[in-house]
A and B are shown apart, each in its own frame.
Chain A
Amino acid sequence: DTGVSQDPRHKITKRGQNVTFRCDPISEHNRLYWYRQTLGQGPEFLTYFQNEAQLEKSRLLSDRFSAERPKGSFSTLEIQRTEQGDSAMYLCASSPVGSYNEQFFGPGTRLTVL
């Protein structure tokens, strides 16, 4: 399967712990996006990369959140000192050059903070 993959699919953690999620985009896609989705809502944009450069960050992305895409391939999203309000589905998407709004989404990582 050559789609977008995310790992882990589910993560349960205690408040105050750090968590890291990984996203592997479709190989020829140079743009990678992170979104967050809470129950009953549509996905909300967090940040995006073009190759290894992080070009935009949402105000939703507090100082506890950091994302990287070190070699322009896979990306990681880290949440430090997790809070219960961080519980959500974290979605990754990628898109090819010239079709940036046709984004291919992964299955998401569901985070539960106890």
Chain B
Amino acid sequence: DAKTTQPTSMDCAEGRAANLPCNHSTISGNEYVYWYRQIHSQGPQYIIHGLKNNETNEMASLIITEDRKSSTLILPHATLRDTAVYYCIVTSNFGNEKLTFGTGTRLTIIP
């Protein structure tokens, strides 16, 4: 799996959009970008994934650059409940049965 690089921590004001970057410059053509988050004392939670097109669901939007070397997870209207560690994971959807988590970005939503 390709290596990812994320900032260690970020703050965002409540109600504003939280933009979490991820670099994955060694991503290969068949690898997807997945995002998970882990709220304190809970297991990780799947958020969204994409290959090359931008994706949106009820939780977030995922913007992947055209060269696919980086991506941004967007939480459009952050709430205090979005305070968590966010993990960006690059993995193939074929024959890869485990998720390789890094240390993620600790996002703190400020009231």
Interface set of A (CB-CB < 8 Å, partner B): 4, 31, 33, 35, 40-45, 48, 55-56, 58, 91, 93, 100-108
Contacts and interface: CB of A to CB of B under 8 A. Distances in A.
Contact of B101 (A40, A44, A48, A102): A44
Given A105-B43, A105-B44, A108-B43, A33 B98 contact: yes
Most buried by B among A4, A33, A101: A101
Contacts, number: 56
Interface of B: 32, 34, 41-46, 49, 85, 87, 91, 93, 96-104
A104 B34 CA distance: 13
Contacts of A56: 97-98
Nearest to B102: A42
A48 B43 contact: no
A4 B43 CA distance: 10
A41 B103 contact: yes
B49 A102 contact: yes
A3 to B, nearest CB: 9
